[in-house]
Structure 1
Amino acid sequence: MIEFQNVSKRYGNKVAVDDVSFNIDEGEFFVLIGPSGCGKTTTLKMINRLIPLSEGYIYFNNQPISDYPVYEMRWDIGYVLQQIALFPHMTVKENIAQVPQMKKWKEKDIDARVDELLEMVNMDPEQYKMRKPDELSGGQRQRIGVVRALAADPPVILMDEPFSALDPISREKLQEDLLDLQSKIKKTIVFVTHDIHEAMKLGDRICLLNEGHIEQIGTPQSFIDAPKNDFVRQFMGDQIKQTEWVKLGDLVTSEHHIDAHDNHLESYPTFDSEQRINEVYQALATHEAVIVKDQQHAQDALLTREAVFNYLSHSQEQAGEHA
């Protein structure tokens, strides 16, 4: 569906993207990843001509993108940014309806599409469509940004680090929602991230960029089983930090210990102390805390969402000090 042939982008003497070639298949979830300044966002923006290429060709459905009227092309390619930039003075419905209105859809068709999309991301239309963006949580605004990009049913969705500003639990939940959504809509998605966990979870294939050129393209498993060079191995090792792979028991202190017979705790999901911290994100998206069972010491603990946040925040600060 999308093909890059020897594409380069230069800004004066600086090479942002250097002679890259690859194909993206219809219905594929294709992830661009790499360190800051590697050219991943530039590569993404060349697809919908927000950035003009310097050399080479990009094809969309076997036709050069330069052959398409630029504004019509952008209407047919959904775009989701990190900073969602919903219009603050407009309702949720009005935000979602922008492109369908530009394409002269009938009002009844717009109403039906808004309701359909909100239901797809588990937001009750009657409850949310007349709200303003400042009445929504960060995760809800991101969901509106995603469905706004889908409003006119485009074949391609570009997503530029859409979840990177969210806390780990909201991010995990939106990743799950996006995977569920993609299983239903089967769009071609090109997704930029700097997070290898996110890339490995979401991508059918991953393209790792470095200083404007491609280091490796392949399935997530291929990056684990057959990294092509030292850069790929180092990037994988540096990115897969120990924080998310820490056992739940390692977070528990004596202040978290609870009476196992306390009935009011029955509503909280339970995890074994040997399970990893990343395995509780989904549970903490809907619960204030989880119970951690320590089979060895027969001592249960209550691990709150705040405790997990504090641990992650402290770990990230330490990682920044050593970077």
Structure 2
Amino acid sequence: MIQFKNVTKRYGNKTAVDDLTFDIKEGETFVLIGPSGCGKTTTLKMINRLIPLTNGYIYFKDRPISDYQVYEMRWDIGYVLQQIALFPHMTIKENIAQVPLMKKWSETDIDKRIDELLEMVGMDPEQFKNRKPSELSGGQQQRVGVVRALAADPPVILMDEPFSALDPISREKLQDDLVELQKKIKKTIVFVTHDIQEALKLGDRICLLKEGHAEQIGTPDEFLTSPRNDFVKDFIGDLDAHRMQQLTIGDIAQKHSPEASTDHPDYPVVPADTQIQVAFQYLSEHDGIIVNGGNGDGKILNSRDVFKYLADRQRGDDR
């Protein structure tokens, strides 16, 4: 869906992004993470040409981004900001309708799409669509920001630290909502964060940047079990291999998986005392596993359940 090939961005003598090469797969959530000033937001903004690259190529749908008219490309790429940036003088309906109006959708189709999206994020259209942004909470405004980015059904969504300004409870709820929403919409999402817990929880793959270059690109379990160097280990923090060895899949099933079912005959049955590293091997080959024994007996776990548990554990919220 999106390809970076030897992409570099310089500002004078300063290199903000240094020779990045990677692919972002269709339908995945790809997280860009790193300390302040590492180039993650610059990398994101080069995708939709808010920032021009200096060297290299970025491809979107197998075409260089320079081949597209800017407006045409941005209509196919939704954008969610930390600051939300809703138009304060417009209603929620009017805010969401902007890109569909520019694409000359009919009023009937726009109304239907707005109702559908608001319902998808748990907001009653009749209750919310005629309100102004100032009448909504921060979490509700950010949901509208996500809905607005989805309004014209773009294949790609860029999200630049969209939840970082929210309180911890609202932030965690929106993270959970995004995970559930992505199961339905299956968009290609590029997500910027500085929070490793958020990256582990949301990302199908993670790209950790340092001073503009990629230190490691991989799945959350690869970061947790096979960090490439000391910088990666330090950035991940205290979820090290020793602590991982103390956890079992039964611990996670007991606390974080409400589903119990035998309707998945293709899922392997895994003993509750199986260590996390071993469980990752099963989850790399199957969509889920069924826990056998202990308080989590019969419950189904998938990769998201595991990473949510580990992220909450690192945050100190071991529920």
TM class, shorter-chain normalised? 0.7 to 0.9
Counterpart in the other structure of 1:154: 154
Q: Does 1:84 align with 2:55?
A: no
In the alignment, residue 118 of structure 1 is paired with which amino acid?
L
Alignment of 1:253-272 (within 5 A): none
Deviation, structure 1 residue 237: 1.3
Q: TM-score, normalised by structure 2?
A: 0.75
Cα displacement string for residues 38-59 of structure 1 (whole angstroms, at most 9, x for unaligned residues): 0000000000000000000000
Aligned-partner SS, 1:8: strand
Deviation, structure 1 residue 61: 1.0
Unaligned runs of 5+ in 1: 241-274, 281-314, 316-323
Aligned-partner SS, 2:57: strand
Cα displacement string for residues 266-289 of structure 1 (whole angstroms, at most 9, x for unaligned residues): xxxxxxxxx99xx89xxxxxxxxx
Q: Does 1:15 align with 2:15?
A: yes
Cα displacement string for residues 31-77 of structure 1 (whole angstroms, at most 9, x for unaligned residues): 00000000000000000000000000000111100000001111110
- Greater radius of gyration (CA): 1
Deviation, structure 1 residue 28: 0.6
Counterpart in the other structure of 1:39: 39
Counterpart in the other structure of 1:49: 49
In the alignment, residue 127 of structure 1 is paired with which amino acid?
Q
CA distance in 1, matches of 2:108, 2:185: 22
CA distance in 1, matches of 2:177, 2:231: 32
Counterpart in the other structure of 2:226: 226
CA distance in 2, matches of 1:105, 1:25: 29
Aligned-partner SS, 1:85: coil
Deviation, structure 1 residue 143: 0.1
CA distance in 2, matches of 1:66, 1:88: 33
Aligned-partner SS, 2:200: helix
CA distance in 1, matches of 2:193, 2:228: 20
Counterpart in the other structure of 2:204: 204
Paired-residue identity, %: 80
CA distance in 2, matches of 1:4, 1:36: 21
In the alignment, residue 119 of structure 1 is paired with which amino acid?
E
Counterpart in the other structure of 1:134: 134
Deviation, structure 1 residue 109: 0.4
Cα displacement string for residues 59-114 of structure 1 (whole angstroms, at most 9, x for unaligned residues): 01111000000011111100000000100000000000000001010000000000
Alignment of 1:1-323 (within 5 A): 1-237=1-237
CA distance in 2, matches of 1:40, 1:24: 15
Aligned-partner SS, 2:148: helix
Aligned-partner SS, 1:93: helix
Deviation, structure 1 residue 227: 0.4
CA distance in 1, matches of 2:78, 2:108: 22
CA distance in 1, matches of 2:112, 2:237: 47
Counterpart in the other structure of 2:244: none
Aligned-partner SS, 2:32: strand
CA distance in 2, matches of 1:237, 1:185: 32
CA distance in 1, matches of 2:233, 2:111: 49
Q: What number of residue pairs does the alignment pair up?
A: 246
Aligned-partner SS, 1:51: coil
CA distance in 1, matches of 2:153, 2:237: 38
Deviation, structure 1 residue 166: 0.5
In the alignment, residue 16 of structure 2 is paired with which amino acid?
A
Runs of 4+ in 1 over 3 A off after TM superposition: none
What is the RMSD computed on CA atoms of the aligned residues? 1.9
Aligned-partner SS, 2:51: coil
